[in-house]
Amino acid sequence: MPQYIRPPALRPGDTVAVVSPAGPVTPELLEGGIATLESWGLDIMLHDAVFERREWAGYLAGHDHVRLGSLREALDDPKVRAIVFSRGGYGTMRLLPELGLAALRDDPKLLVGFSDITALHLHLAAQVGITSLHGPVVKSFRLHDDDPHDSLEELRRALFGLRGPRPRFDGLRTVRPGRATGPVFGGNLSLVASLVASPHCPDLNGAILVLEDVGEEDYRLDRLFTTLRLSEKARRPAGIVLGDFTGCAGAYVDDEAMDDFVARLAAEFDCPVVAGLPCGHATRNVPVPIGVGAALDAERGTLIFDGDAVTPGDS
């Protein structure tokens, strides 16, 4: 697989920017997450436009040029060593055609988020070749207070390069047996399916796909998985790892049957498939390195990475 550039791990005192490239957010929804980041010894820079809202499209955190400008400023600022996005929602993909990222090759920095931020994970991989971290956004920190998987502690360790040389997930449920190796891509299924035919998505054939989603009813999930199976760039993944599919019950499949339903859809691909990865829109969202090679053993229920999203630190 191509060798992706890994940003350096954070150190205490580093500046982390909080930017809103997608949906709007209010100050009280970020207070707890910002306090947590500061308690880790990080200097938090809130962009001036982080709380913007577009007048005629209130689902967006300001006009496209405002969100794009905020993101560019954070990416170009040499003081900023990482960006942890405020929230997901919708709107990031609208910025991709004008988002130049070539400078990141010379000054790589870590991008952290999930849900709509999947668009940036894919774009980084396709256009620049830099690893990133699929993990909590600042707004979602409050969901993980009682998380038995310690998602926030895992995020802290991931940011500072403290998860060891080969992060791993054990106890995954076998859906379709087999073994596979390849780079890990993916995130939110809806975003992957929306971008798979665009130049903003890398070739997913031969990759291990991590997939999760929220609020997509049964038949829509079928459509999204089928879109990937019919696409030129995702019809032959090396393996599939399923995270949480939250609030996806529909007229034909209820909550109790949803895990089995999603597993059956994924098993229609000709590759090993496992379920139960602790990531997604529920109380658990353990950070997953994107663009990093990994080995999937569906019989043993393990996903073992070749490294983390950052170069190891000494924090």
pLDDT at 57 (0 to 100): 93
Answer yes or no: are the C-beta atoms of 296 and 179 closer than 8 Å: yes
CA 42 to CA 9: how far, in whole Å?
A: 12
Whether residue 106 is found in the same domain as residue 183:
no
Q: Are residues 217 and 149 in the same domain?
A: no
- Residue 16: closest CA among 50, 60, 46, 39: 46
> Can you give the pLDDT at residue 31?
95
pLDDT at 315: 46
31 and 137 in one domain? yes
Active site residues: 115, 212, 281
pLDDT of residue 229: 98
| CA 63 vs CA 60, 71, 115, 264: distances in Å | 7, 13, 20, 40
Q: Which of 159, 189, 219 is the last residue of a domain?
A: 159
173 & 116 share domain: no
Q: What is the pLDDT of residues 16-25, one digit of tens each?
A: 999 999 999 9
Q: In this structure, are residues 71 and 86 in contact, taking their beta carbons and an 8 Å threshold?
A: no
Assess contact for 200 and 127: CB atoms under 8 A.
yes
**Which domain covers residue 85, as residue numbers?**
15-159
State residue 3's pLDDT score.
80
pLDDT less than 70: residues of the chain: 1-2, 313-315
Segments in 136-241 forming alpha helices (H): 151-159, 189-195, 218-230
Q: Residue 287's domain is classified under what CATH number?
A: 3.50.30.60
Q: How many independent structural domains does the chain possess?
A: 2
265 lies in a domain?
A: yes
Question: Taking the model in full, what pTM does it have?
Answer: 0.96
Q: Give me the CATH number covering residue 78.
A: 3.40.50.10740
pLDDT given at position 73: 94
H-type alpha helices, the chain: 27-39, 64-76, 118-127, 151-159, 189-195, 218-230, 255-266
205 and 259 in a single domain? The answer is yes
Predicted local distance difference test score (pLDDT) of residue 309: 97
| Axis crossing angle, helix 255-266 with helix 218-230, rounded to the nearest 10 | 10
Looking at residue 30, its pLDDT comes to 96
